[in-house]
Amino acid sequence: MKKLTGFVWLFTLLTIIFGGMEKAYATEIGLTVTVDKNILTLDDKLKLTLTVYGAQDVSQPTFPEIEGFRVLYGPQISAQTRIINGEVSISKGYTYMLQPVAKGKYTIGSSTLTYKGRQYTSNPINVEVIESKPSTDTKTIDLDKLVFVELHTDKDAAYVYEQVTLYFRLYFQKGLPVADIDYTAPATRNFMEEKLGDQRQYEVVREGILYSVLELRTAIFPIVSGELAITPAKVKCNLIVQEQRNRRGTPFDDFFNDSFFDDFFGSGQRKYPVERITNPVLLKIKPLPEDGKPKEFKGAVGNFNMDTSVKTSRVRIGDPITLSISVYGDGYIQTINEPVLAFNNNDDFKIYPAESTTQITNREEVIRGRKVFSKVIEPQNTELRNIPAIVFSYFNPRENQYKTITKEPIPITVDSWEQEIPIQLAHSLEKSSSSRRQVQLLTQDILPIMTGLSSLKNQGNPVYKNPFIVGGLFLPAIVLVTTFFVVRHKDRLQTDIGYARNRRAHSVANKRLTLAQSALFGDSSSMFYAYLSRGIAEYLADKFNIPAASASGGKVEELLRNIGVSDDVIAEVARCLSDFDYRRFSSDAGTINERENSLKVAAQLITKLEKQL
């Protein structure tokens, strides 16, 4: 049954794993053709790779039509499976090494793949073959193609406070080791900014070359209108070059063979510093439209919603009601101002300034969050039946219009005190008679008294002065020490034979004496004395952890003397052992009284020994 259950579990697990993988693999099939460079000399070699994405059980794609090159060798087949953040991506590559045969501009034609009845075609690539000794300009072009950067935004025009996503991308040719990346962000004066998500890493093909891309995203919010410029971003990094001088023919060899790099970085690998600067980005920022602007609008731009709640709906005049207003959605949360309470009469409520907390809940694609306003209001008369409607206006840049959210009035009940008289505060401090103990009329009122009785207990007695608690602190310590000794005793009883025998010696001896007592009136006196003799001998053997047979007169005397037992007790032990053994094997059984006396002597002797051992 257990095996069956285990099998079912295994089957379920495998189904989940492979089912999940199948789902993960169920991506679109793609075919790309890439080269390692698209400008090369007649001395260079061109690495051409046909890559099939999304499947590995594919037939070889057709070799593209190429003029001006001959195939040196290939294809080298490679398969790759990558798991990034739980997403599985698979690919299969076919790499050829080509040799240019004549200078000129060539086009590498499309490759075709047929998979499960469908045909997939790659894009053509342009390649230029130049003279064997390239000029400095050409080298620069190639270096720029090796590593380059881009800075752009998701839109060219936006409203004030509308989110614009700024993308910075660092491209470097796949397989090129890049280290020590130092990014200097662009200056975004006139913008507020929030970082968006984590840095992304992916691959793209540009002009037939496969690049790895590092992407950083920032949400920027313009705070003024007009033509705004985002200054260029800058990145510094090092290309790591293994010291292999035999790679002849590439335009970078002259750079990397420089003795300066040899001296600076030593042998093994060399770092080639690269600095790249993006172009600036221009944005047209439009002011918010004046048409249709609601009077409650206070500058929030985005797409928002609003929730409201109160902690209590039944209060007495002057008691505080905490109103919680939560505004949430997409947009720059910091700019959300307090929603408006549509009072009919300003004297109906006494209003305290709201306190707010801001929280960004999502920053993957857009900045999303919530701002919670806690506002205390105090009703000033019993006629009030509800808290007035709460109104929040914002501008939605996607829909190009202002929106207003209105929350319906929240019903409340206001009870009176004994007399239904509202509390009124004077607007200035009255200095009529500033003697002591004169009631003050306050310009700013204090919060009301606390009337909760449930928690009213005497806090005046410190807990650490309570003798019960102080006394109780010793209890766990006592239990701990007791437990320690009990556990150690039990452990030693099981593991230390000498200890176990020592601890049990007295009880075993008492059992022997009990047996002797039962044999006291029997016919066999030898049995009686055998019990007595064995009782004392085994007691001593247990105490000294020696075999019972070794507990004879001379040995026992020596052991007892070594541990400082008094001479009279030692003599008594020797006498008893001798006497009991004699009587055990002799025909002189002795009278009942003599036997009783012997039993008594043996018991007293064991008691004495127990005290001294």
Partner 1 sequence: MIRTQFHIFIFVILFLFGGVAFADALSKDEAIKMFTAANEDHSQAVKLIAEKKLPEANKKLEEAALQYEIILSKGFRHGQIHYNLGNTYYRLGEVGKAILNYRKAQRLMPGNAEIDANLRLAKNSIEDKEAIHETPAVIQRIFFWFFLLNQNGLAVFSVLIYVMTMLLLIALVILKYRWLKRLIIGFTVGLLIAVVSLGIKMYMERGIDHGVIIAKNCPVRYGPGEEYETKYEIHEGAECVIEQVKGQWYKVYVHVGIKQGDSQQADADKKEDKEIRRGWLHKDAVGII
Q: Which chain residues interact with partner 1 by CB under 8 A?
A: 318, 417-419, 421-424, 434, 436-442, 444, 446-453, 455-464, 466-469, 473, 476-477, 479-480, 483-484, 487
CB of 427 to partner 1, least distance (A): 13
Distances (CA, A) of 76 to 36, 46, 299, 421, 454: 15, 14, 61, 94, 81
Nearer of residues 181 and 469 to partner 1, judged by Cβ? 469
Our measurement of the distance from residue 481's CA atom to the centroid of its chain's CA atoms, rounded to an integer in Å, reads 39
Q: What are phi and psi of 558, to 5 degrees?
A: -60, -45
Task: Name, in order, each residue with C-beta under 8 angstroms of 553's C-beta and a sequence gap of 6 or more.
Answer: 574, 577, 578
Which residue type occupies 437? R
| 530/551 Cα distance (integer angstroms) | 14
In this complex, which beta carbon is closest to partner 1, that of residue 282 or of residue 469? 469
Token code pair at residue 314 = 């039944």
Strand order from edge to edge, sheet including 226-230: 157-159, 281-286, 226-230
140's tokens: 């620069």
Q: How far is the CB of 253 from partner 1 (least distance, A)?
A: 56
Q: Work out how close the CB of 526 gets to partner 1 at its nearest, in angstroms, rounded to a whole number.
A: 48
Hey, what amino acid is at 39? I
Q: Are 441 and 426 in contact (CB under 8 A)?
A: yes
Cβ(130)–Cβ(138) below 8 Å: yes
Dihedrals phi, psi of 380, to nearest 5 degrees: -110, 0
C-beta of 268 vs 467, nearer to partner 1 = 467
Neighbours of 461 (CB within 10 A): 9
In sequence order, what are the residues at sequence separation of 6 or more whose Cβ sits closer than 8 angstroms to the Cβ of residue 263? none
Q: Closest approach of Cβ 354 to partner 1, in Å?
A: 14
Cβ nearer to partner 1, comparing 424 with 586: 424
We find the least distance from the C-beta atom of residue 194 to partner 1, in angstroms, to be 21
DSSP state for residue 550 in the 8-state scheme:
G
Q: In the bound complex, what is the minimum distance in angstroms from residue 374's beta carbon to partner 1?
A: 10
The CA distance from 570 to 21, in Å, is 85
Nearer to partner 1, 484 or 521 (CB): 484
- Cβ contacts of 358 within 8 Å, gap of 6 or more: 333, 334, 369, 370, 371
**4/449 with CB nearer partner 1:** 449
**Nearest approach, Cβ of residue 483 and partner 1 (Å):** 5
Q: What's the closest the beta carbon of residue 424 comes to partner 1, in angstroms?
A: 5
Shortest distance (Å) from residue 382 CB to partner 1: 13
Based on CB atoms, which residue is closest to partner 1, 440 or 586?
A: 440
Which of 398/465 has CB closer to partner 1? Answer: 465
Output 17 or 425, the one with its CB closest to partner 1.
425
Comparison of 419 and 591: residue with beta carbon closer to partner 1? 419
Count the neighbouring beta carbons within 10 Å of the beta carbon of residue 483: 10
> Toward partner 1, which CB reaches closer, 268 or 471?
471
**114, two tokens:** 């047929």
Q: Based on CB atoms, which residue is closest to partner 1, 126 or 483?
A: 483
Q: Kindly tell me which of 351 and 520 has the beta carbon lying closer to partner 1.
A: 351
- Name residues whose C-beta falls within 8 Å of residue 567's C-beta, 6 or more positions apart in sequence: none
**Residue 128 tokens, joined:** 């230029």
In angstroms, what is the minimal distance from the CB of 469 to partner 1? 7
By the 8 A CB rule, do 107 and 208 touch?
no
SS3 string, 414-456, reads EECCCCCCCCCCCCCCCCCCCCCCCCCCCCCCCCCCCCCCCCC
Smallest gap from residue 312 Cβ to partner 1 (A): 15
CB closer to partner 1, 224 vs 480: 480
Nearest distance from residue 451's CB to partner 1, in Å? 5
The residue (of 485 and 521) whose beta carbon lies closer to partner 1 is: 485
Provide the minimum distance between the beta carbon of 564 and partner 1 in the complex, in angstroms, as a whole number.
34
Query: Which pair of structure tokens corresponds to residue 444?
Result: 């700013």
Side chain identity at residue 130, one-letter code? I
**CA dist list (Å): 489 to 296, 504, 561, 611:** 80, 12, 28, 20
One-letter amino acid identity for 301? V
Distance in Å, CB of 481 to partner 1, minimum: 10
| Residue with smaller CB distance to partner 1, 34 or 380 | 380
Q: What six digits make up the tokens of 188?
A: 């975004």
Q: Is 490 helix (H, G, I), strand (E, B) or coil?
A: helix
Instruction: Report in angstroms how near the CB of residue 361 gets to partner 1 at its nearest.
Output: 20
| Per-state percent for the chain, helix, strand, coil, to nearest 5 | 30, 35, 35
Query: What three-state secondary structure class fits 378?
Result: strand
CB of 219 to partner 1, least distance (A): 26
Angle at 132 between CA 129 and CA 135, to 5 degrees: 90
419, burial (CB in 10 Å: exposed 0-12, middle 13-18, buried 19+): exposed
